Chains A and B, each alone.
Chain A
């Protein structure tokens, strides 16, 4: 037969081809840093369980330039992760009010409000 359907290979760097895909990949990458930060917290908890000396050593290690650099990077990615996550929530959770849907921006704003309030609360509690 004469048919010969042609399959175009997907290039290895397909995600560099268009801005929307690159942004997507960076978003996905952000969870690596979130995961890494979770590990840091777990390590910290472990040290805490080993007594004040161990914990002090842990806090000391966090002051190193490498640790600070990592934390800054992790903060940036965590913010990216949060902002993109919040932006997507109206799609996953449409809220109905009678015949209409609650506008997406309202749902996103509500997330920001809760986030700010909770974060502020935690920071204040930490100071205390």
Chain B
């Protein structure tokens, strides 16, 4: 089998992957980097992020504020040493981006501008109009072209990690254009593959967010952490799930129900005026807003449409000039995909799955328990987001921990990581290839990708959505378990080698089922409500028994094994999450 050797292999070329590659290249230009992704870097889903990236920069702000907002927003499930590191590194990373050419929006003085964002006491969200993720990704991608040590392998799909003597020694990947299976041998591997929103039917996530990297690590024995925490973004367009940025509310947008009533004031986020006001009403944290929608829906107060129930996001009062300047993409998206011009009419929105707080368990240096394996970005769980992420923390997260992963990989290699390939590596690679070949030979498969995927989507939304209970979670665990068994009988229709996207979807489905399994079991076993994990049968937060991270270990064909890890608490003792109130 074809073996390509590099010092570092990075799987995923979005914000975190590109930042990691640049970090390795800058730390040691002599190390060879194979930056792989199943898509060209510019297609990574970082590109779709809109609102901004948070970091303390203005005189009216403080690192302590960012720390407290993040820990509170995460309902005290964040590891506070990690949050401390994160908020400290954040301003440097965003300044570095500015030096690399990121077109941050500016104040008249020429300094970078910041806007208010949900759950934050002081505005600290740097933004580039309403396309921040797009500009950050392109800045990173274009900057990465400067470094000759970064070799890109575009459109490679990683199928397995190679492990020898408890060290990660590389990756088996399919070169999509030829169908050839190759071994990418390495001394350190970084996973930066993003989230897995596609396990749900309505999501802001792109087609590519199928949890491949999470599954890779999970199957290799690395635990996934806090998988039960799924963030619903309160304002997605119905049916398509297209994201309408929180920035629209930061600029003063309001949410009203079918009576034109700003219902959030009934959910501990009021009073409604003065508006805009930080941490209040529509600038409350995402979990609270999505949960409020759910209650409104139960009370029959939402607006029924052919694409489901919605509420209205109204930005008319901002005026055309401000909308064109600060929210041009929002206007374009609402007009094209909903036929609604937000200058003249409110935008129908509903909560849609957006982000996974959970992911591959890493320490504060982005290292997983498997020697030589690192992870960063949404696919990882450090954890800085705890039980609920604040908007604009995750773009910054990709930079801070992408850089950490890169530097961590360099340190690991310098401290004497392994070298060379061995027969054990080749055997694993051969096994991986046989599994793929077996798919091609199978002719009696009774299941379809479309069918299994649809059933997975439906049960996850029904049983593991915004609100959960024992019965719904149990049924979800069982159903996903059965789907995993049925997956063995999935039939590959396309038997070609060149750019076979049927094969790609079959493999992605396998990853999604594993991730969904972890989500369902983790949720069933968290016997409390916290942040975005809300149970109708256990409505209170239980710090005594549950101030812990859930660790989920792959159980092969069986159920996963669960374990728990204490949350690192340093400065901030768990308290009440208070939003709304008078203007401060």
Do A and B have CB atoms closer than 8 angstroms in the complex? yes
In the bound complex, residues from chain B placing their C-beta under 8 Å from that of A3 are 177-178, 498
In the bound complex, residues from chain B placing their C-beta under 8 Å from that of A1 are 178, 180
A9 at the interface (CB under 8 A from B): no
**Distance in angstroms between the alpha carbons of A4 and B178 in the assembled complex:** 9
**Distance in angstroms between the alpha carbons of A1 and B177 in the assembled complex:** 10
**Distance in angstroms between the alpha carbons of A3 and B496 in the assembled complex:** 11
**Distance in angstroms between the alpha carbons of A2 and B179 in the assembled complex:** 8
In the bound complex, residues from chain A placing their C-beta under 8 Å from that of B179 are 2
**Distance in angstroms between the alpha carbons of A127 and B178 in the assembled complex:** 75
In the bound complex, residues from chain A placing their C-beta under 8 Å from that of B496 are 2
In the bound complex, residues from chain A placing their C-beta under 8 Å from that of B178 are 1-3
**What mask results when residues 160 to 179 of chain B are scored 1 for a CB within 8 Å of chain A, else 0?**
00000000000000000111
Give the interface SS of chain B, mostly helix, strand, loop or mixed.
loop
**Distance in angstroms between the alpha carbons of A44 and B280 in the assembled complex:** 82
In the bound complex, residues from chain A placing their C-beta under 8 Å from that of B434 are none
CB distance from B272 to the nearest CB of A (A): 35
In the bound complex, residues from chain A placing their C-beta under 8 Å from that of B498 are 2-4
In the bound complex, residues from chain A placing their C-beta under 8 Å from that of B177 are 3
CB distance from A64 to the nearest CB of B (A): 60
**Distance in angstroms between the alpha carbons of A49 and B363 in the assembled complex:** 91
Output the nearest chain B residue to A1 by Cβ-Cβ distance.
Answer: B178
CB distance from A100 to the nearest CB of B (A): 12
CB distance from A82 to the nearest CB of B (A): 35
**What mask results when residues 171 to 196 of chain B are scored 1 for a CB within 8 Å of chain A, else 0?**
00000011110000000000000000
In the bound complex, residues from chain B placing their C-beta under 8 Å from that of A4 are 498
Output the nearest chain B residue to A4 by Cβ-Cβ distance.
Answer: B498
Output the nearest chain B residue to A2 by Cβ-Cβ distance.
Answer: B497
CB distance from A120 to the nearest CB of B (A): 41
**Distance in angstroms between the alpha carbons of A2 and B496 in the assembled complex:** 9
Output the nearest chain A residue to B177 by Cβ-Cβ distance.
Answer: A3
**Distance in angstroms between the alpha carbons of A51 and B216 in the assembled complex:** 92
In the bound complex, residues from chain B placing their C-beta under 8 Å from that of A2 are 178-179, 496-498
CB distance from A1 to the nearest CB of B (A): 6
Output the nearest chain A residue to B499 by Cβ-Cβ distance.
Answer: A3
In the bound complex, residues from chain A placing their C-beta under 8 Å from that of B497 are 2
**What mask results when residues 309 to 328 of chain B are scored 1 for a CB within 8 Å of chain A, else 0?**
00000000000000000000
CB distance from B383 to the nearest CB of A (A): 43
**What mask results when residues 222 to 245 of chain B are scored 1 for a CB within 8 Å of chain A, else 0?**
000000000000000000000000
CB distance from A98 to the nearest CB of B (A): 12
**Distance in angstroms between the alpha carbons of A3 and B180 in the assembled complex:** 10
**Distance in angstroms between the alpha carbons of A3 and B177 in the assembled complex:** 7
**Distance in angstroms between the alpha carbons of A4 and B177 in the assembled complex:** 10
**Distance in angstroms between the alpha carbons of A105 and B359 in the assembled complex:** 54
CB distance from A6 to the nearest CB of B (A): 11
CB distance from B177 to the nearest CB of A (A): 6
CB distance from A3 to the nearest CB of B (A): 5
CB distance from A54 to the nearest CB of B (A): 64
CB distance from A41 to the nearest CB of B (A): 50
CB distance from B110 to the nearest CB of A (A): 13
**Distance in angstroms between the alpha carbons of A6 and B178 in the assembled complex:** 14
CB distance from B237 to the nearest CB of A (A): 32
CB distance from B153 to the nearest CB of A (A): 16
**What mask results when residues 481 to 511 of chain B are scored 1 for a CB within 8 Å of chain A, else 0?**
0000000000000001110000000000000
Output the nearest chain A residue to B496 by Cβ-Cβ distance.
Answer: A2
CB within 8 Å of A: which of B113-153?
none
Output the nearest chain A residue to B497 by Cβ-Cβ distance.
Answer: A2
**Distance in angstroms between the alpha carbons of A2 and B177 in the assembled complex:** 9
A-B contact pairs, 6 of them (CB 8 A): A1-B180, A2-B178, A2-B496, A3-B177, A3-B178, A3-B498
Given contacts A2-B496, A2-B498, A4-B498, 8 further A-B contacts (CB under 8 A): A1-B178, A1-B180, A2-B178, A2-B179, A2-B497, A3-B177, A3-B178, A3-B498
